[in-house]
Amino acid sequence: PPRRSHQKSRRGCLSCKQAHIKCREDGPPCERCRLRGTTCTYPDPP
């Protein structure tokens, strides 16, 4: 069967992108960064 396509997050924070996990984008800080106590930075808009 053909693969289903999915939307890639373009606005996720750099920490989530580096860990290859989906960013909730509910920040800053996002939920993952808030729970881990890490700095949550987002890339500059294009």
> Whole domain around residue 16: which residue ranges?
11-41
Is residue 34 in some structural domain? yes
Domain containing 35 — which CATH number?
4.10.240
* Listed residue (44, 18, 39) closest to 27, CA to CA: 39
Is residue 3 in some structural domain? no
Q: How many domains, the chain?
A: 1
Is residue 15 in some structural domain? yes
Q: How far apart are CA 46 and CA 41, in angstroms?
A: 15
Q: Confidence band (pLDDT; 50, 70, 90) for 35?
A: very high
pLDDT value for 44: 81
Higher pLDDT, 39 or 1: 39
pLDDT digits (tens, 9 = 90+) for 3-26: 877 666 678 899 999 999 899 888
pTM above 0.85, yes or no: no
pLDDT of 42 over the 70 cut: yes
